[in-house]
Amino acid sequence: MVFLLPMLVLHFLPAIIAGVRHARNFGWILVINIFLSWTVVGWIIALIWAICDTPRYYYAPYVPPSAPPYNVR
């Protein structure tokens, strides 16, 4: 059991990365991860796709507006 859980996490690492990043093609990455990851090449393809896929949401950093300039006479 101690060996099984880390191996499952490693096996589904591409799907986990795609899920955390909210990848647009999460479903396809999961399908490739389930059906082709036993070939190692399929696992590498799913991993690269999960890392390089664009996220579904873009998180823009909040920049507070600058203070108005002081009128010095």
For residue 20, the surrounding DSSP H or E stretch is: helix 13-20
d(CA 66, CA 43): 47
pLDDT value, residue 72: 62
Indicate the pTM of the whole model: 0.74
Q: Model confidence over 17-37: pLDDT tens digits? A: 999 998 999 999 999 999 998
| Measured CA distances, 16 to 39, 65, 67 (Å) | 19, 36, 42
Share of the chain above pLDDT 70, in %: 96
